[in-house]
Structures are given as structure tokens and as C-alpha cells.
């Protein structure tokens, strides 16, 4: 091809010189000659350029230079931006929204009016409830007072009278018992006298001193005296029993008087008092609750911070409950990223590690941040291939700008190790022996392999730090194979690759000589460049050094 290029170039120079001398009246002949010359040169060039040929190339195992520089180890993750410290605004009492002054996306300042409420009906209802609750409290107090107030006036006199009457009854009964003792003594005397008479009459009856009738009369008198004695003793016993009853009545009367003066002594009354005290306390708590609600009733809500409204549930004319977030406001210059790290990488993640983040939607921008939280438990995350176990983490962004919004998806690179000025080689260059030691194959200037033990430091996905064993500037095998050995030559592991040139399409040929324009000028792209190279950037494809 080089020979063809030189011949072609010479032909072009000679023909252009002839063309320059041709006169105007031979213009047609000149154009014909030019076309023939172009076709001839193109044919010669195309014959060689588009011919097919097979070439072989010897490829040696790739080597890498031992370098010194900075090396970082990173763990990748994906996450979503969220507002770091959003403020949720609640109302403390369910109210109807009257007017809304800020919508989602609006920027507000601290103290700006957000929402007003229609509180007239609610306020009237609460005031009515408060009046009812106060009345209930007063009634409970009255009932409690009635239960616990000591007896006085007629009630006290009645209780005292019962005690006096019981005491008098006891006195009377004791007097009766004393009189029965006298009666019994007299009756016993009568019995004794009647018994003597009967005994005397019995002796007289035997000797005929008295009649049988007189004896029987004496026996009747004796029996009557016995009956009287027995009756009197029974009456005394009955009276003694009535004394016990009277004493019990006195005790009860005294107890009633004591309970009347201190009603909590009575168990039943004490229980009633306790129940009424509970009723009073419940009523008082109800009053306090209503008063609290009245104090929390507000006609408007104002922004507690400066920021952007990112959520709003306030709708004019609708009720807002105290359990619903009325609005959520956040400082969008203060963002966090909620990310998920694989269970296989989480052991490398620590609080305080630096993070670099990018977004597909924001080109040529790298955001930075710091790991601020690692969740204590893992979770399962769905993926295209199934599911994986991940651990949630939180990264606080250092420099979010106005382009970054909550909800954006980010790709994270967590820098777990950042080394400076270290010696490193490609990770694939390091092998591991059965004894656990690491090695590389160095290549000297003669291509001889030297298996060298090295001390391995930190690694990342592509490179490995070598702490000892090799020096900067030395060459190592990038990917050693199992059949390599110490002292072998690099050429022993060369491979031969066959390369085949194929014909180019017809469009290149047409560009080289695709016809002459009618005005007689040179065809576009069809001539030789001033340097003598191939037209159209074809280059030397067949000569030496082309590969």
C-alpha cells in the first residue's frame, strides 16, 4: 500500500500540473481526462484497500505498573431524600377550618398565619357543658355534706333521749330484781314454815290429835308456798334477761349518738360518703377538662418555623381532628437520605463515615454527607431478582441545593476507608497461597517472572494496597494464571490471535470517486489530502505498524 500511495501521489501531482496548463477552449477534454484519472487512481487504491487478508497477532499477558497514590474503599447503596427535621403541626381541639393561607409548596416564615377556624359554635357548646358540669359539682357537694355533717338540733336531742331512756330502763329493771330477791326470801320462809306444819300434823294424825282433813289442808298450804317460791324465782330470771336486753339497747343508743356526732364511724354511712366523694371528684375533673378545652380553643394557627409546606390536610369547611396532622413544614436546606445497605456490607458502616451521592436527574453534581444513624434491625427489600436483607441507615446531607428535593432517588458511595499516598496494584494481580500468604508475579526487564510474597493491606473492588514486598515502578502480572511459575518467561504465556480484514461497503468507494460536478470543480472528498495520506481519513491499513 505504501508503494501505491507514493505512485498515486505522484500521478496526482503530474496531472494537476497538466491541468493547470490546459486552455479554456479545451474544457471538455480536460474534464474527461480528470474523470479518467480519478477512476484509474481509485481503482488502483480500491483494489488493494478492499482486498481481504488474514493477519495474526501475538498477545502477551497484561502487566500493570506498581503505583503510589490515594485509594478509597467504598460501599454502594441507594436511598431517598427526606426532610431532616420536619415539624408536624396539630390542633389541640377538633375544629372546623375557616380559611387556609398556605398550601403545599409555599414558603412560610416563622409566625406567618397558616389557618383560621370557625370556633363560635364550638365555644358555645363548651360553655354550656361547663355550666352543666359546675351544677353537677355543686349537687355532689350538697349530697356529701348531708351524709357527713354531724347530728344537730332535733336529731341530736332524739339520739341523746334514746341513751337516757335506755339508762332509766336499766335502773328500773335492777330495782325489780332487788324486789324479787326480797320476795324470794319471804317465799322461802313461807315454804319452810309450811313444811314444819305438815311434819307436825303428820305426827298428830298418827296419834289422833288432828283430823285427816286438817292434815290435808296443811299439805295444800305447803304446796302453795312452794308454787309461790318457784314463780317468784322465775319472775326474777325473766327480769334479769330483760336487763341484758336493756343494756344492749343502751349500747346501741350510745353508738347511735356517737355515729350521729361523727358519721364516718358507721361503715354503711362511711361507704356512702366515699361513693359521694368519688362522684364529686369525677364532676370536678369534668369541669377541669372542659375548662382545658376552652383554653385550647384557638381561632388561628401560625407557623412555628420558617420553611416550606410539604404536607397539608387543612381544607376550608371541613373538620380537623386533634389526631390529624394539620400541616407539615420543613427546612428543605436540611435534608437526610434514608438508604439501605446490604447485610454483607453493613459491618463496614460506622457512624460518622463520609458519603458521596449522585442523582440521575442532576448531572455533574456530587453531594456529600455523613452517616448519622444505623438502624438496629434488618428488613427485607424486594429486588428485580427476588429479595435481599438490608439494614436501613440515615445520611445527613452537607450541601443540598435548590435542585435537590425530598423524595429524590440517590446513588450513594459510603467511604469506609480513605487512604493517602499508598502503594497499590490491581486486585486481580494478588494471589493467595495455601498457607494464607499473598503473592504477586513481578516481571523484570527481560520478561522473567518472579513470584514475590507481599503483605496485603486494604482492598476495594479494583485495587489492593501492598504494604511490603514490591516497589513503585515495578511491573506485575495483572491477572496471573495457575500455570505461571517463578522463573518462567512472559513469552511462554503469549497467545496468538487471528485477525481478518473485511471489505468495506460501497459508500466509501463512492465517496472516493463519486463522479465529477458539472462546474468542473474537484469532487467532494474525492481528492488526495496534501499530506499524501488516504482520502476520507482512511489511514494506512495494510502496511507495517498498522496494529
Q: Which helix (H) or strand (E) holds 83?
A: strand 67-83
Q: Tell which phi-psi region holds residue 481, choosing left (phi > 0), alpha (psi between -120 and 50) or beta.
A: beta
Asked if 395 and 79 touch (Cβ cutoff 8 Å), the reply is yes
How far apart are the C-alpha atoms of 399 and 81, rounded to whole Å? 13
Look at residue 499 in the predicted model and tell me its pLDDT. Answer: 65
How far apart are the C-alpha atoms of 430 and 332, rounded to whole Å? 47
How far apart are the C-alpha atoms of 381 and 136, rounded to whole Å? 59
Closest CA to 136 of 288, 5, 23, 33: 288
Bridge partner list, 426: 463
CB atoms within 10 A of CB 285: 12
**In the chain, which residues have pLDDT < 70?**
1-54, 263, 499-547
How far apart are the C-alpha atoms of 330 and 307, rounded to whole Å? 5
How far apart are the C-alpha atoms of 133 and 136, rounded to whole Å? 5
How far apart are the C-alpha atoms of 55 and 154, rounded to whole Å? 137
Handedness of CA 318, 323, 324, 327 (dihedral sign): positive
Rg over alpha carbons for the chain, rounded to the nearest Å, is 62
Look up cell 483494489; give the residue. Answer: 47
pLDDT (tens digit per residue) in 446-484: 999 999 999 999 888 899 999 999 999 999 999 999 899
Closest CA to 372 of 155, 112, 85, 21: 85
Look at residue 335 in the predicted model and tell me its pLDDT. Answer: 95
**Cβ burial, residue 391 (10 Å; 0-12/13-18/19+):** buried
Asked if 12 and 527 touch (Cβ cutoff 8 Å), the reply is yes
CB atoms within 10 A of CB 531: 7
Domain ranges of the chain: 2-53+501-537, 63-71+420-498, 87-119+298-327, 154-261
pLDDT (tens digit per residue) in 79-112: 999 999 999 999 888 888 999 999 998 999 999 9
Task: Output the 3-class SS for 121-166.
Answer: HHHHHHHHHHHHHHHHHHHHHHHHHHHHCCCCCHHHHHHHHHHHHH
Roughly what angle, to the nearest 10 degrees, separates helices 212-261 and 154-207? Answer: 170
Please state the pTM of the whole predicted model: 0.50
> Long-range contacts of range 3-11, CB-CB < 8 Å, 24 or more positions apart?
4/44, 4/45, 4/48, 5/532, 5/533, 5/534, 5/540, 6/532, 7/44, 8/41, 8/44, 8/45, 8/528, 9/528, 9/532, 11/37, 11/40, 11/41
CATH fold of 87-119+298-327: OB fold (Dihydrolipoamide Acetyltransferase, E2P) (2.40.50)
Report, at the CATH architecture level, how domain 154-261 is classified. Orthogonal Bundle (1.10)
How far apart are the C-alpha atoms of 320 and 122, rounded to whole Å? 13
Asked if 334 and 82 touch (Cβ cutoff 8 Å), the reply is no
Using alpha carbons only, give the angle 30, 35, 41 rounded to the nearest 5 degrees: 125
Using alpha carbons only, give the angle 358, 362, 365 rounded to the nearest 5 degrees: 55
Asked if 151 and 159 touch (Cβ cutoff 8 Å), the reply is yes
Look at residue 524 in the predicted model and tell me its pLDDT. Answer: 42
Which three cell numbers mark 1? Answer: 500500500
In our burial notation (b when 16+ CB lie closer than 10 A, e otherwise), range 103-136 reads eeeeebeeeeebbbbebeebeeebeebbeebbeb
Asked if 108 and 332 touch (Cβ cutoff 8 Å), the reply is no
Q: Which helix (H) or strand (E) holds 259?
A: helix 212-261
Look at residue 500 in the predicted model and tell me its pLDDT. Answer: 59
How many residues are there in the chain?
A: 547
Asked if 440 and 430 touch (Cβ cutoff 8 Å), the reply is yes
Q: What is the mean pLDDT of the chain?
A: 81
Report, at the CATH architecture level, how domain 63-71+420-498 is classified. Beta Barrel (2.40)
Look at residue 4 in the predicted model and tell me its pLDDT. Answer: 30
**Cβ burial, residue 188 (10 Å; 0-12/13-18/19+):** middle
Amino acid at each position: 500500500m505504501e508503494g501505491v500511495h507514493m505512485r498515486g501521489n505522484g500521478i496526482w501531482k503530474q496531472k494537476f500540473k497538466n491541468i493547470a496548463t490546459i486552455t479554456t477552449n479545451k474544457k471538455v477534454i480536460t474534464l474527461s481526462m480528470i474523470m479518467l484519472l480519478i477512476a484509474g487512481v481509485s481503482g488502483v487504491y480500491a483494489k488493494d484497500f478492499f482486498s481481504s487478508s488474514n493477519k495474526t497477532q501475538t498477545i502477551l499477558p497484561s502487566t500493570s505498573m506498581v503505583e503510589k497514590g490515594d485509594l478509597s474503599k467504598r460501599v454502594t447503596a441507594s436511598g431517598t431524600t427526606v426532610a431532616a427535621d420536619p415539624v408536624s403541626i396539630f390542633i389541640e381541639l377538633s375544629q372546623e377550618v375557616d380559611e387556609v393561607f398556605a398550601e403545599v409548596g409555599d414558603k412560610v416564615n416563622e409566625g406567618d398565619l397558616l389557618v383560621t377556624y370557625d370556633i363560635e359554635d364550638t365555644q358555645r357548646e363548651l360553655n354550656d357543658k361547663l355550666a352543666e358540669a359546675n351544677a353537677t359539682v355543686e349537687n355532689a357537694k350538697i349530697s356529701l355534706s348531708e351524709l357527713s355533717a354531724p347530728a344537730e338540733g332535733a336529731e341530736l336531742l332524739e339520739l341523746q333521749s334514746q341513751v337516757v331512756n335506755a339508762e332509766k330502763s336499766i335502773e328500773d329493771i335492777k330495782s325489780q330484781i332487788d324486789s324479787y330477791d326480797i320476795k324470794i326470801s319471804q317465799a322461802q320462809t313461807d315454804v319452810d314454815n309450811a313444811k314444819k306444819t305438815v311434819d307436825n300434823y303428820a305426827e298428830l294424825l298418827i296419834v289422833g290429835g288432828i283430823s285427816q282433813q286438817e292434815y290435808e289442808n296443811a299439805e295444800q298450804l305447803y304446796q302453795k308456798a312452794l308454787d309461790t317460791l318457784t314463780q317468784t324465782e322465775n319472775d326474777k330470771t325473766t327480769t334479769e334477761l330483760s336487763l341484758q336486753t336493756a343494756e344492749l339497747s343502751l349500747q346501741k343508743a350510745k353508738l347511735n349518738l356517737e355515729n350521729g356526732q361523727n358519721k364516718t364511724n358507721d361503715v354503711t354511712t362511711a361507704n356512702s360518703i366515699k361513693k359521694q366523694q368519688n362522684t364529686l371528684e369525677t364532676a370536678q375533673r369534668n369541669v377541669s377538662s372542659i375548662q382545658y378545652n376552652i383554653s385550647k380553643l384557638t381561632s388561628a394557627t401560625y407557623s412555628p418555623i420558617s420553611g416550606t409546606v410539604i404536607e397539608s390536610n387543612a381544607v376550608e369547611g371541613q373538620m380537623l381532628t386533634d389526631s390529624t396532622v394539620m400541616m407539615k413544614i420543613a427546612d428543605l436546606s436540611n435534608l437526610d437520605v434514608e438508604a439501605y445497605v446490604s447485610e454483607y456490607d453493613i459491618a463496614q458502616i460506622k457512624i460518622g463515615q463520609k458519603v458521596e451521592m449522585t442523582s440521575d436527574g442532576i448531572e455533574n453534581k456530587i453531594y456529600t454527607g455523613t452517616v448519622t444513624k444505623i438502624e438496629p434491625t434488618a428488613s427485607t427489600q424486594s429486588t428485580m431478582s427476588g429479595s435481599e436483607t438490608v439494614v436501613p441507615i440515615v445520611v445527613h446531607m452537607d450541601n443540598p441545593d435548590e435542585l435537590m428535593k425530598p423524595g429524590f432517588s440517590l446513588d450513594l458511595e459510603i467511604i469506609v476507608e480513605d487512604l493517602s499516598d499508598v502503594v497499590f496494584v490491581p486486585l486481580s494481580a494478588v494471589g493467595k497461597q495455601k498457607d494464607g500468604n499473598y503473592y504477586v508475579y513481578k516481571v523484570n526487564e527481560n520478561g522473567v517472572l518472579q513470584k514475590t510474597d507481599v503483605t496485603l493491606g486494604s482492598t476495594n473492588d479494583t485495587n489492593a494496597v501492598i504494604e511490603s514486598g514490591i516497589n513503585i515502578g515495578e511491573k506485575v502480572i495483572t491477572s496471573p494464571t495457575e500455570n505461571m511459575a517463578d522463573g518462567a518467561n512472559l513469552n511462554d504465556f503469549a497467545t496468538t490471535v487471528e485477525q481478518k480484514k473485511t471489505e468495506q461497503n460501497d459508500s466509501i468507494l463512492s465517496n472516493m470517486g463519486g463522479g465529477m460536478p458539472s462546474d468542473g470543480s474537484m469532487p467532494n472528498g474525492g481528492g488526495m489530502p496534501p499530506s499524501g495520506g488516504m482520502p476520507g481519513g482512511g489511514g494506512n491499513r495494510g502496511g507495517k505498524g498498522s496494529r
